[in-house]
């Protein structure tokens, strides 16, 4: 790079000098969406929205899927992996071929709270996608060979997953904050998966893959009115008097020490803090959402500007909500080099305290308000984005109206509301959490910071 060129200083200025930043134009509101929000005769709630931007349709199904049994996480995981591997009418390859020919895909996954199925296809292929879905929901066969094979793959994948720093940190955080609650069992134990039988998977399907209390979201190039009839027809055979199984309520977090979890020789540490907040239905939620954005919820937040852009401690620092059934917590995440970890935790706590004591200025509040409103509009502008938003809302009993009304709620929040939410919910004392990293190096400094203990989570 030795060719003749200007200096950095010459590059950074022009004869005309700095220019004023243009002001914003007038924003047009998003068009109203034609939608239907109803419950089928089998108890399944359906949200169907017409959004014909491309000739596709997006499908999401959320089935509450909790279980207390010690083998539940392993059985549920095997079920999710084999749900779409064969029915009385189609084997695994026929399912894949039928979906492929309509440009489609169906996939399923499970967590301690729910079984989720996601699908997409060309809009003209929706009848086929619904037929395959209904086929699996009512007649998944869990053939011995498929269960055996998926069990093996799952064990191998669990091994890969448990070497990911983010999985290690997540498990440590879950155990540290929720102890033995079923919610902590996100990745099953390999030895549990190894003993799951096809009979157990079939029994779990019978007991728990249920329409009542579940939600199906369809977004795309569809007619929401007529699609309800199609769904009623396609899913009519999926019925039960019982309701899908909801996770027992999580205990409220009350704050406490940060646990330093040793990971010998790690070059980077995971900082994971967490505190109780309130869910979307609480009148304080909009103000709380803005307080969170100002803290660490977007790039221009206090936390990111401090520990990334000012100090270079991290590539990624972030705070955000985690919703579980009717409750919500706020989580703060940062991955930092071992040498910078203690200082990063200090700054992270400092910014928590400062948010309450030196609350967001009018400019900060305006910035997060516009960001919150703008992100809603952007996310809702694609079929997949809208389907994801609606599925998340539906899980809390909300729907498209909430989405349409939320910009007005955000617009009504005052700086004082944000200050109150900041002081109430972001006080450092309300947080607990973990740091996973090289304890030999980290322990002396973290202990000196205070409110840190060292050890494995209970």
Partner 1 sequence: MADPELVRFTLDNGLRVVLAPDATAPVVGVSVHYDVGFRSEPEGRTGFAHLFEHLMFQGSESLEKLAHFRYVQSSGGSFNGSTHPDYTDYFEVLPAAALERALFLEADRMRAPKLTQENLANQIDVVKEEIRLNVLNRPYGGFPWITLPPVLYSTFPNAHNGYGGFEDLEQATLDDCAAFFDTYYSPANAVLTVAGDFTVEEARELIEKHFGDVPHRPAPERPSFAEPAPEGELRGEQNDPHAPLPAIGIGYRMPDPINDLDGYLANLVLAGVLTDGDGSRLQQRMVHREPLVVDIGAGAGLFGPFEARDPDTFTITAIHPPDVSTEQVLAALDEELEKLAATPPEDQELKKVTARWAASLHSEHDKLVSRTLALGSFELLYGDASLVYRLAEKMSAVTGEAVSAAAKALRPDSRAVLVVRPGSGSVESEQEGTEQ
Stretch that binds partner 1, among 47-55, 130-138, 412-420, 450-458 (CB under 8 A): 47-55
- Binding residues for partner 1, rule CB under 8 A, total 98
Between 248 and 265, name the residue whose CB sits nearer to partner 1: 265
Between 88 and 160, name the residue whose CB sits nearer to partner 1: 160
Binder of partner 1 out of 162, 233, 242, 429 (CB under 8 A): 162
In the window 57-86, what residues touch partner 1 (CB under 8 A)?
85
> Can residue 440 be called a binding residue for partner 1 (CB under 8 A)?
no
> Can residue 283 be called a binding residue for partner 1 (CB under 8 A)?
no
3-state secondary structure the chain: CCCCCCCHHHHCCCCCCCCCCCCCCCCCCCCCCCEEEEECCCCCEEEEEECCCCCEEEEEEEEEECCCCCCHHHHHHHHHHHCCCEECCCEHHHHHHHHHCCCCEEEEEECCCEEEEEEEEEHHHHHHHHHHHHHHHHHECCCHHHHHHHHHHHHHHHHHHCCCHHHHHHHHHHHHHHCCCHHHCCCCCHHHHHCCCHHHHHHHHHHHCCCCCCEEEEEECCCHHHHHHHHHHHHCCCCCCCCCECCCCCCCCCCCCEEEEECCCCCEEEEEEEEEECCCCCCCHHHHHHHHHHHHHCCCCHHHHHHHHHCCCEEEEEEEEEEECCEEEEEEEEEEEHHHHHHHHHHHHHHHHHHHHCCCCHHHHHHHHHHHHHHHHHHCCCHHHHHHHHHHHHHCCCCHHHHHHHHHHHHHCCHHHHHHHHHHHCCHHHCEEEEEECHHHHHHHHHHHCCEEECCCC
In the window 169-198, what residues touch partner 1 (CB under 8 A)?
none
Between 355 and 376, name the residue whose CB sits nearer to partner 1: 376
> Can residue 120 be called a binding residue for partner 1 (CB under 8 A)?
yes
Stretch that binds partner 1, among 205-213, 366-374, 417-425, 427-435 (CB under 8 A): 366-374
Binder of partner 1 out of 111, 135, 171, 335 (CB under 8 A): 335
What string marks each residue from 200 to 239 as x (binds partner 1 by CB under 8 A) or -?
----------------------------------------
In the window 376-395, what residues touch partner 1 (CB under 8 A)?
377-378, 380-385
| Least distance CB 392 / partner 1 (angstroms) | 18
> Can residue 435 be called a binding residue for partner 1 (CB under 8 A)?
no
Between 276 and 306, name the residue whose CB sits nearer to partner 1: 306
| Least distance CB 380 / partner 1 (angstroms) | 8
| Least distance CB 43 / partner 1 (angstroms) | 31
> Can residue 316 be called a binding residue for partner 1 (CB under 8 A)?
yes
What string marks each residue from 84 to 113 as x (binds partner 1 by CB under 8 A) or -?
-x------xx-xxx-xxxxxxx--------
| Least distance CB 414 / partner 1 (angstroms) | 18
């Amino acid at each position: 790079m030795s060719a003749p060129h200007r200096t950095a200083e010459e590059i950074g200025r022009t004869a005309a000098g700095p220019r004023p930043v243009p002001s914003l134009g007038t924003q047009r509101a998003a068009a109203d969406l034609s939608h239907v929000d109803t419950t089928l005769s089998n108890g399944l709630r359906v949200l169907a929205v017409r959004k014909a931007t491309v000739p596709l349709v997006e499908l999401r199904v959320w089935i509450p899927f909790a279980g207390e049994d010690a083998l539940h996480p392993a059985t549920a995981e095997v079920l999710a992996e084999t749900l779409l591997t064969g029915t009385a009418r189609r084997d695994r390859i026929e399912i894949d071929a039928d979906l492929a020919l309509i440009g489609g895909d169906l996939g399923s996954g499970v967590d301690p709270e729910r079984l989720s199925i996601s699908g997409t296809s060309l809009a003209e292929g929706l009848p086929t996608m619904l037929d395959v879905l209904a086929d699996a929901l009512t007649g998944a066969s869990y053939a011995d060979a498929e269960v055996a094979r998926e069990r093996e793959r799952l064990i191998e994948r669990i091994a890969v997953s448990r070497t990911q720093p983010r999985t290690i940190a997540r498990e440590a955080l879950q155990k540290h904050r929720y102890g033995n609650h079923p919610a902590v069992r996100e990745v099953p134990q390999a030895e549990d998966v190894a003993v799951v039988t096809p009979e157990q998977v079939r029994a779990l399907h019978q007991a728990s893959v249920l329409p009542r209390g579940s939600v199906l979201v369809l977004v795309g190039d569809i007619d929401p009115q007529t699609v309800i009839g199609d769904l009623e027809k396609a899913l009519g055979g999926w019925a039960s008097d019982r309701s899908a199984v909801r996770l027992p309520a999580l205990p409220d977090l009350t704050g406490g020490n940060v646990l330093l979890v040793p990971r010998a020789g790690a070059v980077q540490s995971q900082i994971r803090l967490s505190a109780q907040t309130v869910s979307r239905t609480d009148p304080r939620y909009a103000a709380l959402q803005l307080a969170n954005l100002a803290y660490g919820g977007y790039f221009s937040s206090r936390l990111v500007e401090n520990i990334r852009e000012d100090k270079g401690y991290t590539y990624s620092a972030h705070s955000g909500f985690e919703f579980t059934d009717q409750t919500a917590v706020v989580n703060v995440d940062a991955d930092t080099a071992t040498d910078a970890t203690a200082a990063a935790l200090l700054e992270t706590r400092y910014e928590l305290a400062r948010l309450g004591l030196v609350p967001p200025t009018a400019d900060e509040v305006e910035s997060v308000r516009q960001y919150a409103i703008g992100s809603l509009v952007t996310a809702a502008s694609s079929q997949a984005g809208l389907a994801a938003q609606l599925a998340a809302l539906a899980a809390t009993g909300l729907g498209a109206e909430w989405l349409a009304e939320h910009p007005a709620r955000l617009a009504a929040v005052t700086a004082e509301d944000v200050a109150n939410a900041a002081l109430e919910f972001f006080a450092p004392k309300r947080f607990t959490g973990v740091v996973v990293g090289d304890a030999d190096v980290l322990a002396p400094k973290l202990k000196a910071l205070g409110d840190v203990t060292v050890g494995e989570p209970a």
